[in-house]
Structure 1
Amino acid sequence: MGKPLPMALRKRVAAFVDEGNSNREASRHFRVSPKFVNDLMKLRAERGSLEPRRQGHGTGGGKLAAHADFVRQRMAENGDLT
């Protein structure tokens, strides 16, 4: 997954739209996707902030978290999983 665009760009895009320009004009002017501008304006309306949402799946620990004990035990016994 890519990194969020910088806050400076987010602020400039939002200010451009606030000046009365359309979302599509902002996307052309700043060379970003129209979806980014639409999502940015929707984010600001919902949360009152331009900060990007957190990326990832939270603190689940990953797909192998449920098998961590088995993996550690197996590595301690054999030094290898294969």
Structure 2
Amino acid sequence: MMARPLSLDLRQRVAAALAGGMTVRAAALRFGISAATAVRIGQLDRSGRGLAPAKMGGHVKPMLRGAAADAVHRRLAAKTDWTVRALAADLKAAGIDVSHDTVWRFLRREGKTFKKNANRQRAGQAEGGALPKPLEEPSTST
């Protein structure tokens, strides 16, 4: 069973009981709610913010769907060496308002990865020097 907010009717009855002088614990016992919930209902009633339940659920991560997803696929088919930020900037220029993070998550879900070096070879030194020598064999004690 999924959690759901208490009905407005129950909230109003709890608030009326608390306003009528009933203790928080007695109201909680009478209406079958926790004492903490009764306290919160009393606080809402006294503050004048209303007793209606707040929206349930959290943030939904933005996703690329439909025409936006097709636009990403078309761009990747035409040019394969995009950076995520450049792809996001190109989509923004085309009128698709999207962040680079949303593009990155979309590409991850699609199974696309971006490697810095396609051959997976070790990059050279920044100043053009020689590569370090490979590790030597461990010395053995004789």
TM-score (norm 2): 0.42
The residue aligned with 1:68 is 106
Give 1:61's aligned amino acid. K
* The structure with more radius of gyration: 2
Q: Does 1:30 align with 2:24?
A: no
Which stretches in structure 1 are left out of the alignment for 5+ residues?
A: 75-82
Aligned positions of 1:41-52 closer than 5 A: 41-52=42-53
Aligned positions of 1:3-18 closer than 5 A: 3-18=4-19
> For residues 69 and 51 of structure 1, what CA distance do their matches in structure 2 show?
40
Deviation of the 1:68 alpha carbon: 2.6
TM-score (norm 1): 0.67
CA displacement, residues 32-78 of structure 1 (integer Å, 9 cap, x when unaligned): 110110111122334520011222224x426xx8313543x45xxxx
The structure that is helix-richer by fraction is 1
Aligned CA RMSD, in angstroms, stands at 2.5
Runs of 4+ in 1 over 3 A off after TM superposition: none
The residue aligned with 1:77 is none
Which stretches in structure 2 are left out of the alignment for 5+ residues?
A: 63-100, 112-142
Give me the identity figure in percent.
26
